Amino acid sequence: MRGLMQDWPLLIPKVIDYAAAEHGGRAVVSRSVEGPMHRTTYREVRERALRVAKRLDRDGIRVGDRVATLAWNTWRHLETWYGIAGIGAVYHTVNPRLFEDQIVYIMNHAEDRVLFLDLTFVPLVEKLAGRLPTVERYIVLTDAAHMPRTTLPNAVPYEDWLAEADADFRWADVDENAAAGLCYTSGTTGEPKGVLYSHRSNVLHATMTVMPDCFGLSARDTVMPVVPLFHANSWSLAFAAPMAGAGLVMPGPKLDGASVYDILTSERVTFTAAVPTIWFALLQHMEKEGGALPDLTRVAIGGSACPPAVIEAFEKKYDVPVLHAWGMTEMSPVGSICGIKPEVQTEDYEKLLGVKATQGYTPFGVEWKITDDDGVALPHDGRTFGRLKVRGAAVARRYFKREDEEILDEEGYFDTGDVATIDADGYMRITDRSKDVIKSGGEWISSIELENLAVGHPDVAEAAVIGIAHPKWDERPLLIVVPKAGREPGRDELLEFLRPRIAKWWMPDDVVLVPDIPHTATGKILKTALRERFKDYRLPTAV
Amino acid sequence: MRGLMQDWPLLIPKVIDYAAAEHGGRAVVSRSVEGPMHRTTYREVRERALRVAKRLDRDGIRVGDRVATLAWNTWRHLETWYGIAGIGAVYHTVNPRLFEDQIVYIMNHAEDRVLFLDLTFVPLVEKLAGRLPTVERYIVLTDAAHMPRTTLPNAVPYEDWLAEADADFRWADVDENAAAGLCYTSGTTGEPKGVLYSHRSNVLHATMTVMPDCFGLSARDTVMPVVPLFHANSWSLAFAAPMAGAGLVMPGPKLDGASVYDILTSERVTFTAAVPTIWFALLQHMEKEGGALPDLTRVAIGGSACPPAVIEAFEKKYDVPVLHAWGMTEMSPVGSICGIKPEVQTEDYEKLLGVKATQGYTPFGVEWKITDDDGVALPHDGRTFGRLKVRGAAVARRYFKREDEEILDEEGYFDTGDVATIDADGYMRITDRSKDVIKSGGEWISSIELENLAVGHPDVAEAAVIGIAHPKWDERPLLIVVPKAGREPGRDELLEFLRPRIAKWWMPDDVVLVPDIPHTATGKILKTALRERFKDYRLPTAV
């Protein structure tokens, strides 16, 4: 027997319809790529998104077609998302930080028919256009006055293109499970893989992030996603902010410490979110130039683990609580956030900081477990670490055009590739990537924990730990260190530094100093390259 | 093209699964019907709900069957909800305040197979059991020690019945659109009508009420639904609190001012919700006995319009912000809530109180419009009033066993039967029920506004306004007044009191004093009876 409630599908246009109806005058402020600040409202964003939709329709874009964007966070980028999803097409956010070959690969794989691009990226795309046969039209997100001469075929300034349509349009009537967004994971091995979001997954994910213990967004908030729309779905903020009726501040292309400080304070941002790198730069800027963050009521930090020192600086120095979050493109992306449950609330800041340095717990809509290599669930004791697997309303089931490849276990969980502990209060701590964990005598050693400890040594600029083949233990850890300029820490000195901090069997079997460590396009340590480089390394203990 | 995200249906058991997994030790505290306070946790509630499910299954209850409850808010009632929904059956909450014939009618209409009932209601149900042929079993929500002798056929104490099953059970795998809950509207005319909630509508509605600008529930909250589970789905709190990981306090049968004060303060409740009557009683108690509400951070008031004096008392005297809400059984039930948008934020409390006295604006998931009798949309100017119509993810589409009866307009909106204005900032004010509005010369006069003004006169205990047939104007207002004990306000005195407060054409054409006014089972003025009583009344102006 079915319930007798209305059929009200969870469609992305409902979000901007709601914002325009209930919070129509709320400000959407952007630092434009051309330079000046730009101010609009949800009412206008919706109207222009309707025009984007109508104009795309006239260009022959149909339900399910992919339309790419290569753009910073601005009101125009936001309009294109709602316009594209609003005709039932699929917004495909291209990350400009990918290697050129990767951009070409994903755009051809997605068969993007149109590319919306910022002025910034015109030179890049001119180089690639010859290798992008599916793209019929390049729409530069600017007006005629700022339009550069370009070799891009069929290029047009966005404002001229948009002026050719009015807002008299009805959003497409698609199923809530229809594809709406596409985002590729960069990955350190193999080709990038596309995660294909649905209207439903995006709307449900936004409802979950709006909740008080997640981002906790209100109509009285002013939200600045520093995290780009092209980075893991902008952590849902392009949907969550209008759903909550919160004002939006879009920082455009300027993401250095001084610019972020400037816009945070001048626009009186109350909530913001980005990866740790952004916050290092902001804190360094404020350290040097001074300043305060009186309007900011909390900051979300994720994308990679946030060092406790950054949390402490925000909280103690600037009185801004930190929400440490974890997720991935395959999770839309929020998987957990470090809210404070009553059971861990304490007056002891050092203890609280210990909690806040974890990746937190799941909001409603995400389920997780940790397992061993055989899929057996492991205890939540804060010590045992295992493969972190997730299930939920906004978690990937398959990758785009790889639909025959099973990526879920028998219970429907997706293996995140992370290795983690979960403690008795439910707080999760990422200890490693599963491919980087060092398997020594059947036990696991976390490369990341060793690296984090090693960078605590005053002479160490960066550290990586990889497993090296060992005849008795299978693998043993090798510590690879980039010294700070002019320093040359000794092997024994580094090991003695680690000794009191770790279990004896975690001690690296050797240390090597190197001038630099290779990184991925998104700034992570490229361990595959390190493993290749040290594949013939012989540990002194391997006798 | 479908998105490639996981199929994670929005099922009610997911809510208690989540609470048990992430907030398993959080307290669920009840004032038991037997008397003493009772303490349990979400982990135990889930475990016992699984046993309810398994035990119902053994009793032959199947997917879609209706299982009734006639009970106060306690942990046992909560367990039955999750257990019933968890096997795909339908919890049917029976309101003990209905007239006996109505209870018999709805239970037969629903074809309830089992009734869970509190000790309180055993005498009532013993009277009715002979007229309830579909009920196979009566389960009294108590233990063997407190079980009364009873004539109820096949009666058993809940704890004994439950002890016959363990928790080794899997929740039923039903479609998210399957029926999960049934609640009848009492209505002043015709038979009660059943609203049939689905798993999806309840889960979506809960996500919407958890959000910061709605109830704003957090794991650090302690939530007390004074509003009964049998009243309009308990305003979603039986789902929203565990979804947020908030602690729950269930006040059981004692809802007088002293008892509510006692449990609010001793259990350090941070959020509570009820109809105005409850809060009158609490405020009167505190007026007399003194006291403070240091832990309460906000109170939700709905069910009928909340007088500004109650809002002011909470806010100014006890420093507890009020959330004025509106909804109805057909809306699961929340339709709007009076959060403060930045555009109405002000330091001027009188002005703010004017906003807070409105029924607020819609959360994401509800859409509304006001129309004239022909369905034409009216402006949102704060003056024009029209029929309030709603659409959304948790709004009724049809009534149970009346599926051939269309209740939505061409755009899919449900007519709430309320008449309201919506202002330019989106704030809605109920001005009347559409059947009570007085239609004078083609214009509408709000009976409720006249009543609210009239009760402001120092000699008036209660007031009702109805339309009386008029040869020229079609209808004109008659003011019916119950004077305070020992007072006898004059007709002219009352009219002079109103004159400066309303438009001239709103002035009642006559006043009558009466000793009392009839009410519905749920305490509303029974205007049908008043219209019947005054159907031959001749206005002095009707010449």
The pLDDT tens digits for A381-430 are 999 999 999 999 999 999 999 999 999 999 999 999 999 999 999 999 99
Paired tokens of A113: 């028919």
Cα-based distances in Å from A422 to A259, A336, A343, A368, B25: 37, 12, 15, 10, 16
Indicate if A420 and A448 belong to the same structural domain: no
Specify whether A535 is catalytic: no
Indicate if B399 and B286 belong to the same structural domain: yes
Chain A residues inside the 8 Å CB shell of B10: 393
Residue range A453-469: mean pLDDT, rounded: 92
Residue range A420-444: mean pLDDT, rounded: 92
pLDDT for residue A442: 83
Cα-based distances in Å from B104 to B69, B130, B155, B197, B210: 13, 10, 18, 21, 35
> Per-residue pLDDT tens for A357-369?
999 999 999 999 9
> Per-residue pLDDT tens for A472-523?
999 999 999 999 999 999 999 999 999 999 989 999 999 999 999 998 776 7
For chain A, the domain total comes to 3
> Per-residue pLDDT tens for B17-62?
999 999 999 999 999 999 999 999 999 999 999 999 999 999 999 9
Would you place residue A338 in the very low, low, confident or very high pLDDT band (cuts 50, 70, 90)?
A: very high
pLDDT for residue A520: 77
Task: Evaluate if residue B523 carries a pLDDT over 80.
Answer: no
Closest to B235 measured CA to CA, from B210, B212, B256, B267:
B210
Specify whether A444 is catalytic: yes
Q: How far is B74 from chain A (nearest CA, A)?
A: 23
Task: Evaluate if residue A265 carries a pLDDT over 90.
Answer: yes
Longest dimension (CA), chain A: 77
Q: Which residues on neighbouring strands pair with residue B48, listed in sequence order?
A: none
pLDDT for residue B226: 97
Question: Has residue B238 been placed in a domain?
Answer: no
- Interchain CB distance below 8 Å, B23 and A219: no
How far apart CA A226 and CA B270 sit, in angstroms, is 34
Indicate if B158 and B173 belong to the same structural domain: yes
Mean pLDDT lowest among A160-164, B261-265, B454-458: B454-458
Chain A residues inside the 8 Å CB shell of B220: 340-342, 345
pLDDT for residue B307: 84
User: CATH no. for residue B459?
Assistant: 3.30.300.30
Would you place residue B522 in the very low, low, confident or very high pLDDT band (cuts 50, 70, 90)?
A: low
Question: Has residue B210 been placed in a domain?
Answer: no
In terms of DSSP bridges, do strands B510-513 and B474-483 run parallel, antiparallel, or are they unpaired? parallel
Indicate if A326 and A349 belong to the same structural domain: yes
Task: Evaluate if residue A188 carries a pLDDT over 70.
Answer: no
> Per-residue pLDDT tens for B51-89?
999 999 999 999 999 999 999 999 999 999 999 999 999
- For A377-398, b where at least 16 C-beta lie within 10 A, e where not — what string? ebebeeeebbbbbbbbbbbbbb
How far apart CA B298 and CA B319 sit, in angstroms, is 9
Please give the single-letter amino acid code of residue B118: D
Residue B4 forms contact with A (CB below 8 Å): yes
What average pLDDT does chain B have?
95
The DSSP code sequence of B346-374 is -S-HHHHHHHHTS-BBPPTTEEEEEE-TT
pLDDT for residue A187: 61
Nearest to A179 among B1, B14, B392 (CB): B1
pLDDT for residue B433: 87
3-state SS of B174-191?
CCCCEEEEEEEECCCCCC
User: Which of B155, B177, B198 finishes a domain?
Assistant: B198
Paired tokens of A490: 């000794």
pLDDT for residue B256: 96
Indicate if B463 and B411 belong to the same structural domain: no
Task: Evaluate if residue B437 carries a pLDDT over 70.
Answer: yes
- Contacts of B430 by beta carbon, 8 Å cutoff, 6+ apart: B305, B326, B359, B388, B418, B419, B420, B448
- Interchain CB distance below 8 Å, A367 and B21: yes
Residue A539 forms contact with B (CB below 8 Å): no
Paired tokens of A296: 């900011």
Name the percent of chain B lying above pLDDT 70: 99
Question: Has residue B206 been placed in a domain?
Answer: no
Question: Has residue A410 been placed in a domain?
Answer: yes
- Interchain CB distance below 8 Å, B6 and A396: yes
Indicate if A346 and A421 belong to the same structural domain: yes
Q: Return the H-helix or E-strand segment holding B132.
A: none
Indicate if B92 and B130 belong to the same structural domain: yes
User: Which of B410, B434, B458 finishes a domain?
Assistant: B434
Specify whether B315 is catalytic: no
Chain B residues inside the 8 Å CB shell of A362: 18, 21-22
Taking the CA atoms of A214, A219, A221 and A226 in sequence, report the sign of the dihedral they define. Answer: positive
pLDDT for residue A542: 83
User: CATH no. for residue A399?
Assistant: 3.40.50.12780
Q: Show the CA angle centred on residue A197, arms to residues A193 and A200, nearest 5°.
A: 160
- Interchain CB distance below 8 Å, B219 and A339: yes
| ipTM score for this prediction | 0.93
What average pLDDT does chain A have?
95
Chain A residues inside the 8 Å CB shell of B4: 179, 195-196, 198, 396-400, 403
Task: Evaluate if residue A335 carries a pLDDT over 60.
Answer: yes
Q: pTM here?
A: 0.94
The DSSP code sequence of B291-328 is ---SS--EEEE-SSPPPHHHHHIIIIIS---EEEEEE-
In terms of DSSP bridges, do strands A438-440 and A443-445 run parallel, antiparallel, or are they unpaired? antiparallel
Indicate if B428 and B479 belong to the same structural domain: no
Question: Would you say A318 and A326 are in contact if contact means Cβ atoms under 8 Å apart?
Answer: no
Question: Would you say B236 and B81 are in contact if contact means Cβ atoms under 8 Å apart?
Answer: no
Question: Has residue B217 been placed in a domain?
Answer: no
Question: Has residue B275 been placed in a domain?
Answer: yes
Residue range B474-497: mean pLDDT, rounded: 94
| Interface mutation target, options B2, B5, B23, B409, chain A, most CBs of A under 10 Å | B5
Indicate if B132 and B262 belong to the same structural domain: no
Name the percent of chain B lying above pLDDT 90: 89
Range of the domain at B78: 12-198
Nearest to A364 among B3, B243, B367 (CB): B243
Paired tokens of B412: 């899919």
Chain B residues inside the 8 Å CB shell of A412: 6
Indicate if B414 and B527 belong to the same structural domain: no
Indicate if A472 and A425 belong to the same structural domain: no
User: Which of A434, A461, A477 finishes a domain?
Assistant: A434
Residue range B266-289: mean pLDDT, rounded: 95
Residue A397 forms contact with B (CB below 8 Å): yes
State whether residue B506 is helix, strand or coil: helix
> Per-residue pLDDT tens for B183-229?
999 765 678 999 999 999 999 999 999 999 999 999 999 999 999 99
Indicate if A386 and A518 belong to the same structural domain: no
pLDDT for residue B135: 98
- Contacts of A70 by beta carbon, 8 Å cutoff, 6+ apart: A94, A96, A103, A115, A116, A117, A118, A121, A124, A125, A230
Closest to A169 measured CA to CA, from A49, A82, A20:
A49
Mean pLDDT lowest among A70-79, A161-170, B530-539: B530-539
